[in-house]
Amino acid sequence: MIKVKLSEMMGIHKVKSFSQLEKETGITRKTLTKLYDGEGKGIEYVTLNALCKRFSCTPCDLLEYVPDKEG
């Protein structure tokens, strides 16, 4: 499973709301909410690029691989 660490990045960079992040990145609130809540089924490269640009990070800082539980 891939975990999106948007909540961590928002905390580190003191982004207090989705509205602020939406204005700064152009990513819709709906998309940000899905990523934040871990409900997204994927992430578009343009979205990943915008988040990396905003947070001055790499995709490795935003995404984490968590092995699936067996059984």
Cα separation of 53 and 40, whole Å?
20
The answer to whether residue 32 is domain-embedded is yes
Number of domains forming the structure of the chain: 1
Residue 44 placed within a domain: yes
**Confidence bin at 71 (pLDDT 50/70/90):** low
Alpha-carbon gap, residue 35 to 54, rounded angstroms: 15
Q: What is the domain-level CATH number for residue 38?
A: 1.10.260.40
Distance of alpha carbon 5 from alpha carbon 35, whole angstroms: 8
Q: How far is CA 43 from CA 3, 46, 47, 61, in A?
A: 11, 8, 7, 14
Q: Does residue 71 fall inside a structural domain?
A: no
Q: What is the pTM of this model?
A: 0.90
Residue pLDDT, tens place only, 13-50: 999 999 999 999 999 999 999 999 999 889 999 999 99
H helix or E strand, kind and range, residue 7: helix 6-12
Q: Which residue segment(s) compose the domain that 14 sits in?
A: 2-65
- Kindly indicate the confidence band of residue 57, based on its pLDDT and cuts at 50, 70 and 90: very high
